[in-house]
Amino acid sequence: MIFMNKLIFLPLIFITSCGVFTWQTTINTLDGYFFGYERDSVSVDEFLESQYSFVSIKFGRAESVRLVLAFVLEDGLLEWRSADNISVFTKNGIIVKTDGLDKVLQGLTTIEEVARVC
């Protein structure tokens, strides 16, 4: 099934207009798709200059996503929200629920449960 997805993805690159992507963008996208993206690093300066609390999350081989603290809810539950309206809820540093992803996680209480699902 994964192999079929890769076979479908490659021709789509060639069907699109040549002016849409630069060659470097296409190469970086294909490299990330086949081999995964590197972990996003946050410099000390970037951390100190940020106006808001944020987290950088990476699921599997996908690119890292930066989420900003949106709400502090009851019982110490924190809601982190991305620019495309994906929410991740944490409690004591553990992801307990997600909203807006293909797979919605809910009711996770341990790191082992999160690792098993992701």
Q: Are residues 51 and 106 in the same domain?
A: yes
Structural domain range at position 79: 44-117
Cβ atoms of 101 and 86 within 8 Å: the answer is: yes
pLDDT tens per residue, range 1-37 = 555 666 666 666 666 555 566 767 777 777 766 666 6
Domain count, the chain: 2
Q: Are residues 28 and 65 in the same domain?
A: no
Q: How many CB atoms lie within 10 A of CB 8?
A: 9
pLDDT tens per residue, range 93-110 = 888 888 887 776 666 555
* Full-model pTM: 0.58
Q: Are residues 54 and 111 in the same domain?
A: yes
